[in-house]
Structure 1
């Protein structure tokens, strides 16, 4: 498939299900263009469109992998990306720990759901999360040097963190929002596909 079709299908695969405006916002394209590409992808058997939303078919992942291997060969050969990716795994582990701290607290040696009643505790976790997001800047920039679409991750992280700083704490981890956790998860999956690697955890 061509690169614009890849970009649309890639976002759809990351989100599992999405409409044209949602995909368009992620790749900085027009919803009308995304709709046309979804129709084309549906004709190729890679997408199913129903009720205004689209879902990837079982053929989508192999097609994405094949295209990524061709399109991102220079990225996979870039020593800077390789070095930064090596450090990402450590940062990712720390991020997962921080998210666990956001969702649960230790009470008498037992993990219980965080009711977010302790504002000081929550602020400390948010500070950790912000610092970890900051550590992605080098890797995102190195990837964006090869493909400008990666820069949208920085924009999305900035928007989520700004919302959190304004008091919208759903933007920390809500799966229904473009939260830090949602963006991080999508970035990790995108990175693995781009580099042709499998998830280790």
Structure 2
């Protein structure tokens, strides 16, 4: 049985990972309904943990929310052996992460210059390498979701966004704040860092 989280914590945790986000983004990250996410955000706001930036249409954590998240994360993980659940999969992820960072560089630059994506053959070769990395990494990502339910959406999200990259949506490889493969991958990495209580700077796994 996967370790279950409440909709309120899933929303709280997704916003902690993202920093600031629209409701639709949080729905995508959690696979919750819009009603569940909006209710969770309202309750979190009542506790002083979230605030809505009307001019940007985005929710974000308050300073109190960021401070309180760690305590709520510990409560969410109570009774779960996190190390046993994630350690092996995380080591596999880190191996893939090193390769992914190299791939992102190759996608953004070509011969030391910004890649304008005019060379179809070059782009296709990088996408093929991404597809191979994805195939290698997906079993570990899927297994994470089998152990911790709130991590289930990552595998489907990676599958869906890879399909967009493969059909020529160039921004969906390394684009920022657009639900790109890079966005989802970095959210997963941040989730793994937070869930395991890892010091990212000490580990050096950016």
The reply to whether TM is greater than 0.5 is yes
TM-score, scaled relative to structure 2: 0.86
1:34-70 residue CA offsets vs partner (Å, 9 max, x unmatched)? 1121111112121111324211112333322222233
1:60-111 residue CA offsets vs partner (Å, 9 max, x unmatched)? 3332222223333524131x621221232221111111101100112xxxx2
Q: Give, in whole Å, the separation in 1 of the partners of 2:190 and 2:157.
A: 16
Is 173-182 or 60-69 further displaced after alignment? 60-69
From 59, 78, 83, the equivalent of 1:77 is 83
Equivalent positions of 1:43-58 (< 5 A) are: 43-51=46-54, 52-58=57-63
Do the aligned residues in 2 keep the contact of 1:174 with 1:182 (CA within 8 Å)? Answer: yes
1:61 maps to 66
Question: In structure 2, do the counterparts of structure 1 residues 3 and 50 end up closer, same or farther at CA, with 3 Å as the change threshold?
Answer: same
1:102 maps to 107
1:182 maps to 183
Equivalent positions of 1:1-201 (< 5 A) are: 3-51=6-54, 52-72=57-77, 74-78=80-84, 81-106=86-111, 111-199=112-200, 200=204, 201=206
Q: Give, in whole Å, the separation in 2 of the partners of 1:131 and 1:179.
A: 17
- Stretches of structure 2 lacking an aligned partner (at least 5 in a row): none
Specify the SS of the correspondent of 1:54. Answer: strand
Specify the SS of the correspondent of 1:136. Answer: helix
Q: Give, in whole Å, the separation in 2 of the partners of 1:94 and 1:20.
A: 32
Specify the SS of the correspondent of 2:110. Answer: strand
1:94-141 residue CA offsets vs partner (Å, 9 max, x unmatched)? 1111101100112xxxx2111112111111111111222223223222
Q: Number of aligned residue pairs: give it.
A: 195
Q: Give, in whole Å, the separation in 2 of the partners of 1:62 and 1:132.
A: 36
* Backbone CA RMSD of aligned residues: 1.9
TM-score, scaled relative to structure 1: 0.88
Do the aligned residues in 1 keep the contact of 2:158 with 2:181 (CA within 8 Å)? Answer: yes
- Stretches of structure 1 lacking an aligned partner (at least 5 in a row): none
Moved over 6 A (4+): none
